[in-house]
Structure 1
Amino acid sequence: MLVERKVKVVTEQNVIDKPPVDQFPMREWSLKVFMVDEDGNERPADVFTKVVYNLHPTFENPVQSYTKHPFTCKNEGWGEFEISIDCYTTEKTKLAPIIHDLNFHQTKYEQTHTVVFKNPSQSLQERLRETGPLPTDDDHRPKKKGIATKKSAQKYDYEKIAESLEKLEEEDLLRVIQIINENKGPDTYIRSDVEVDDLVKAGEFSIDLYTMPDSLTSKLWDHLSKKGLVS
């Protein structure tokens, strides 16, 4: 699954009272990273666990990493340059670099970039839904109103289920796949890398939790509860 989203980089800069370099005034500048939802609203970039800014190599610390939203990168300097920004969704998984133009034409400006999330995990899918639907939602899930109704009335915490599935060892995961295989409904949306009836033989796969029938959700919750992963 490929999911497109908008990421906004906000730059602020101002001249500071320090000696100029080659007649260029010294400046303090900062960068912040936000998500943009489908309505154009600024949202926290909590889909990222870490943001790394690759600055000009002349900086004393040219690679700067931040793990707390809005991932503020603040420095002093006199020159304009392009910054490569790496946004991580896990410790090792990152998106294609965002190339941001640092310039001093305005004291504050914003640049919006389109990024692509490849095969996001279940928990990441839930966070991505906060800024817009996923590609599978229109065809395989109720519209927004329906989703909101189900969420408000749901007995089980789907986000906890998603997070728990990522923690399972291979043997337990195979048991979960078996439970899904035996109890899936006609509207259950599953994406796998092999088209087979038996999900145990399907290789990597993802399931849209909100399309599971109540009976499957109940069995899955009970199984994860016995493992101490949900409560």
Structure 2
Amino acid sequence: MIVERTIKLVTEQNILEGKASGVEGFPMRKWNVKIYILDAQGNQHQADCFTKVVFNLHPSFENPQQTFTEPPFKCENEGWGEFEMHIDLFYTDKSGKISIPHDLNFQRNRYEDTHVVTFKNPSQSLQQILRETGPLPNDEDRRNRKAEGGVKKQKKPFDVEKMADAMVKLEEDDLLHVIQLIHDHKADDTYIQNNIDAGEFSVDLYTLPDNLGKMIWDYLVKHNLVDV
């Protein structure tokens, strides 16, 4: 799955009165950069999809690599010169990072820049965060599958809702057994997501073929996790 989102960088700067830079014609300034994420309507939100942000500043800074772990990831410093920095934004599911350039300049006291960034195969938890700023590519398909499954639910030889409640109670070995059953007996239209790096597996139970659903149901009954 590929998910695109627009992030916004807000830069503010002003001259520090009474504080000399030591370089003629270049007054000392105080500046900061903050990071937000935009929804489809252009509304601004906290960038909770990132767990940390690293600002790679000009090497002349005493601390040129600065890390922030709380939105809006505000990086604030003093200096007299303009430069291009690189910013590393790390996903919340630890699956990688995005790097973007940012031009720090003193043409205006406040300015904004936007960048379109891409999330590749986000984990279930990251998908939930991203849904706060817009739908995901497979959301409409999931809704259609659930709607179709709801119509057929009474015809299935197992109770989908009870199955869902019971599966979260399985011990690790039993859960791995059920996951293996799903991999071995799923149908072409069974909807699953398996994020190995994040250690997450999810399945739309309404898309299980009846024979597979019955196998899992019987396994749950055997472990006294569902009432028949």
Return the TM-score normalized by structure 1. 0.68
Provide, for residues 157-188 of structure 1, a one-character-per-residue CA deviation record: whole Å limited to 9, x for no partner: x9xxxxx8xxx96x465235246559979975
In structure 1, how many angstroms separate the alpha carbons of the residues matched to 2:83 and 2:174? 50
What's the CA shift for 1:34?
Answer: 0.5
Distance 1:212 1:82, change over 3 A: farther
1:141 to 136, 139, 143: 143
SS in 2 for 1:139: helix
Residue aligned with 1:124, SS: helix
Q: CA deviation at 1:78?
A: 0.9
Correspondence 1:50-199 to 2 at 5 A: 50-90=52-92, 92-142=94-144, 171=173, 174-178=176-180, 180=182, 188-191=190-193
Matched AA of 2:20: P
Q: Which residue of 1 aligns with 2:4?
A: 4
Q: Which residue is 1:213 aligned to? A: 206
Instruction: Specify the alignment match of 1:229 in structure 2.
Output: none
Deviation at 1:11, TM superposition (A): 0.5
2: CA distance between counterparts of 1:88 and 1:76?
25
8 Å CA contact 2:93, 2:122 repeated in 1: no
| Counterpart-to-counterpart distance in 1, 2:52 and 2:176 | 31
4+ residue runs of structure 1 moved beyond 6 angstroms?
Answer: 182-187, 204-208
Which range is displaced more, 29-38 or 88-97?
88-97
Q: Tell me, in whole angstroms, the C-alpha distance in 2 between the residues paired with 1:54 and 1:29.
A: 15
Q: Is the 8 A contact 1:189 1:207 kept in 2?
A: no
Tell me: CA distance 1:62–1:119, structure 2 relative to 1, closer, same or farther (3 Å).
Answer: same
Please give the secondary structure, in 2, of the residue aligned with 1:97: strand
| Alpha carbons of structure 1 residues 104 and 176: separation in structure 2 relative to 1, 3 Å | farther
Q: Is the 8 A contact 1:86 1:97 kept in 2?
A: yes
Q: How far apart are residue 2 of structure 1 and its match?
A: 1.4
**Structure 1 position 93, deviation (Å):** 3.7
Cα deviation digits, residues 91-139 of structure 1 (max 9, x gap) = 8543331111111111111111010111111100111111111111233
Secondary structure in structure 1 of the residue aligned to 2:54: strand
| Structure 1 partner of 2:226 | none
Counting matched residue pairs gives: 190
Measured in 2, the distance between the counterparts of 1:110 and 1:41 equals: 14
Residues 93, 187 of structure 1: alpha-carbon distance in 2 compared, 3 angstrom cutoff: closer
Unpaired stretches in structure 2, ≥5 consecutive residues: 145-160, 224-228
Check if 1:19 corresponds to 2:12. no
Displacement of 1:65: 0.2
